[in-house]
Amino acid sequence: MELRHIHYFLVLAEEKNVTKAAEKLCIAQPPLSRQIKDLEEELGSELFIRSNKGVRLTAAGEKFLDYALQIEHLADQSKEALKDVSNGLQGTLFLATVEGRAPHMLAEWIADFHKKYPKVVFNLWNGNSDDVTSRLENRLCDIAIICGPYDSSTLEGLYVYTEPWAAIMSCDHPLAKKHPSKPGKDTLDTISVKELAPYELIIPSKQSRLHEISGWFDKDSPAPAYIGRLAHTLDAYELAEQNVGIAIYPASASIYKNNDRICVKRLVNPEVSAKYYLARIAGRQMTPVAEKFWEHVEQLVIAGDKF
């Protein structure tokens, strides 16, 4: 099996059409079909189901897709790691991050890092903590920013920031009318956690988040209804604006507030917060670029630069 076979497989899996895949690869259809057939024979499994409408992955093909993505990513990483660095640190840094405050922190770290190492380029990906962690585990990124809690048996985390949780709601929502926002304030208005209990909530899709948020409420009182589990804050914001429910997200979600139809209120009683960590796979050797970036952020944290 050669890297060429892996690349051809990934392009065909993406295009789902031999003609389009061949055009994208700048080769003729017969050589592409032959290379895929050779790969299938070597693996002992059919990877695609062929039809007049195109191709689709078999169950074995779906399984191999995960490995193929990892193999191609590792090949890219190895090329970057083995580059001649005599003229300074260079290569690609693969990063993944959750939303909330994380993109802002990451942008400032990158800007500072870029001044010292201008030849390093960045590949960024955004998702929820579970998806980001999965990318780390599957070697699709070098370093990530996640929200705690996390599994310390597989991940090494560097604490970087804490921010309060907030409730995002339509200004037409009964709870917003009960606590109207005060104009001209730089800080968020507050609202008690227990006041959320009678209402429908939209929460982040991270698997452990439901248990965490449920723990905020008195076990002897009625629990809120969770009507949405979403990966992205912007989706939660849009649903809240349509008065579908109250979205529970870190307070930095207030950056999306660009009209008077939405209210964002910091949660208190109890004070609840989200903690961010820079994360990597424990014990896994990183590329020189990733190692240097981790050290760079660690120095900023030690210096008290936690944003």
DSSP string for 31-83? HHHHHHHHHHHHHTS--EEEETTEEEE-HHHHHHHHHHHHHHHHHHHHHHHTS
- pLDDT tens, per residue, the chain with 307 residues: 788 888 888 998 999 998 888 888 888 888 888 888 888 888 888 988 888 888 899 998 888 888 888 888 777 766 665 554 445 788 899 999 999 899 999 999 999 999 999 999 999 999 888 999 999 999 899 999 999 989 999 999 999 999 999 999 999 999 999 988 776 555 788 999 999 999 999 999 988 899 999 999 987 777 899 999 998 888 998 999 999 999 999 998 887 777 788 999 999 998 999 999 999 999 988 999 999 999 999 998 887 754 5
Q: Domain range spanning residue 118?
A: 85-161+275-302
In this structure, the answer to whether residues 154 and 283 fall within a common structural domain is yes
State how beta strands 225-230 and 91-97 pair. Answer: unpaired
In this structure, the answer to whether residues 121 and 209 fall within a common structural domain is no
- Supply the pLDDT for residue 61: 87
Query: Is residue 59 one of the residues assigned to a domain?
Result: yes
**CA–CA distance, 138 with 282 (Å, rounded to integer):** 13
Report residue 270 as tokens. 């109890």
Report residue 48 as tokens. 């695609």
Query: Is residue 106 one of the residues assigned to a domain?
Result: yes
For 116-134, letters b (16+ CB in 10 Å) and e give ebeebeeeeebbbbbbbbe
Domain's final residue, options 53, 80, 107:
80
Query: Is residue 24 one of the residues assigned to a domain?
Result: yes
In this structure, the answer to whether residues 280 and 151 fall within a common structural domain is yes
In this structure, the answer to whether residues 33 and 89 fall within a common structural domain is no
- Supply the pLDDT for residue 156: 95
Identify the bridge partners of residue 51 per DSSP, sorted by sequence position.
54
CATH number for position 153: 3.40.190.10
- Supply the pLDDT for residue 219: 79
289 contacts 93 by C-beta, under 8 angstroms: yes
- Supply the pLDDT for residue 220: 74
Query: Is residue 307 one of the residues assigned to a domain?
Result: no
- Supply the pLDDT for residue 84: 44
In this structure, the answer to whether residues 105 and 51 fall within a common structural domain is no
- Supply the pLDDT for residue 98: 94
- Supply the pLDDT for residue 86: 47
In this structure, the answer to whether residues 31 and 180 fall within a common structural domain is no
Total count of domains within the chain: 3
What is the model's pTM? 0.70
Query: Is residue 45 one of the residues assigned to a domain?
Result: yes
211 contacts 286 by C-beta, under 8 angstroms: no
Domain's final residue, options 50, 80, 110:
80
